């Protein structure tokens, strides 16, 4: 049985319906959009194995939308992850309220395995939206990573625990006393891209892509096809020394 089939078998057995389908035959055929929709955890796992560039291309071809974040969003170390968005918004408001950011922390504790913390810090390029304490809590809860439209601090701790974060850059500042929690698991705009709670975030060394949850299965199938084409082109180009012939054969650039 293939690895895909084993993951599918474990998922279905956990759901208590292992006898309802022919596992052996399904395991050796490509999964369809319907299969992924029925097994969302398998879908998220599959997104961890496709390239962010292919996901971005798939969204553009299917939805005709820009759903990738800009070059401003940088990883603190080379990484690759995928997971479902937990969204948080901070608004700029000078205050002395000790509970001004409590909702931001509660949002972390309400997330779990495979979540991606997506935060927008309004006009916060020079404000650390998160740091080592928040990153340690996310890592302990099994988060896949974090994406912060704002600054970041405590980089040595985040590197020590190998918790992946994309942000606008490192800054030593704090949001305490300068920002207030403005909502969690709401629609936000992060680096120019709309993110809804439950959207799938795909990140690698090419950047960050947001997959609308309503189209996640079809985008995944398309991205897998684009990945397969491109990865087949590399050995062809190396063998025949021609990218023109490769593009003509595989229809991918």
> Domain residues of the chain, as ranges?
74-211
Q: What is the pLDDT of residue 20?
A: 37
pLDDT surpasses 70 at 8: no
3-state SS class at 50: coil
pLDDT surpasses 50 at 215: yes
The more confident residue out of 16 and 228 is 228
81 neighbors 48 (Cβ within 8 angstroms)? yes
Kindly report the CATH class assigned to 74-211: alpha beta
Q: What are phi and psi of 179, to 5 degrees?
A: -135, 160
The more confident residue out of 187 and 251 is 187
Scan for tokens 């939206």, then name that residue: 129
Q: What percent of the chain has pLDDT over 70?
A: 88
pLDDT band (50, 70, 90) for residue 29: low
Scan for tokens 């500042």, then name that residue: 173
Q: What are phi and psi of 85, to 5 degrees?
A: -75, 130
Q: What is the pLDDT of residue 18?
A: 41
pLDDT digits (tens, 9 = 90+) for 133-174: 999 999 999 999 999 999 999 999 999 999 999 999 999 999
Q: What is the pLDDT of residue 186?
A: 98
Q: What is the pLDDT of residue 175?
A: 97
pLDDT surpasses 60 at 26: no
Which residue from 72, 154, 141, 144 is spatially nearest to 112, judged by alpha carbons? 141
Which residue from 90, 88, 43, 24 is spatially nearest to 202, judged by alpha carbons? 43
pLDDT, average across residues 74-94: 98
pLDDT digits (tens, 9 = 90+) for 54-83: 999 999 999 999 999 999 999 999 999 999
pLDDT surpasses 50 at 33: yes
Q: What is the pLDDT of residue 207?
A: 98
pLDDT, average across residues 209-231: 94
Q: What percent of the chain has pLDDT over 90?
A: 78
135 neighbors 157 (Cβ within 8 angstroms)? yes
Retrieve residue 219's tokens: 């985008």
pLDDT, average across residues 29-38: 90
Q: What are phi and psi of 127, to 5 degrees?
A: -120, 130
Quick one: three-class SS letters along 83-126? EEEEEEEEEECCCCCCCCCHHHHHHHHHCCCCEEEEEEECCCCC
Q: What is the pLDDT of residue 21?
A: 39
Q: What is the pLDDT of residue 22?
A: 41
51 neighbors 206 (Cβ within 8 angstroms)? yes
Range with the lowest mean pLDDT among 25-34, 88-97, 169-178, 213-222? Answer: 25-34
Q: What are phi and psi of 78, to 5 degrees?
A: -55, 130
């Amino acid at each position: 049985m293939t690895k895909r089939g084993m993951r599918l078998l474990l998922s279905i057995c956990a759901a208590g319906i292992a006898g309802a389908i022919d596992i052996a035959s399904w395991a050796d055929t490509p999964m369809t959009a319907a299969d992924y929709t029925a097994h969302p955890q398998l879908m998220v796992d599959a997104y961890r194995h496709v390239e962010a560039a292919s996901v971005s291309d798939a969204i553009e071809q299917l939805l005709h939308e820009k759903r990738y974040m800009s070059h401003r969003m940088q990883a603190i170390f080379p990484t690759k992850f995928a997971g479902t968005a937990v969204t948080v918004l901070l608004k700029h408001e000078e205050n002395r309220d000790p509970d001004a950011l409590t909702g931001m922390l509660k949002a972390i504790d309400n997330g779990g395995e495979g979540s991606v913390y997506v935060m927008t810090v309004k006009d916060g390029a020079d404000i650390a939206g998160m740091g080592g304490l928040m990153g340690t809590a996310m890592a302990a809860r099994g988060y896949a990573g974090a994406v912060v439209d704002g600054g970041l601090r405590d980089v040595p701790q985040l590197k020590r625990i190998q918790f992946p974060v994309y942000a606008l850059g490192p800054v030593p500042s704090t949001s305490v006393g300068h920002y207030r929690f403005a909502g969690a698991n709401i629609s936000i705009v992060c680096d120019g891209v709309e993110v809804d709670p439950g959207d799938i975030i795909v990140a690698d060394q090419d950047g960050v892509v947001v997959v609308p949850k309503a189209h996640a299965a079809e985008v995944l199938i398309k991205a897998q096809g684009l990945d397969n084409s491109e990865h087949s082109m590399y050995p062809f180009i190396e063998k025949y020394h021609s990218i023109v012939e490769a593009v003509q054969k595989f229809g991918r650039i």
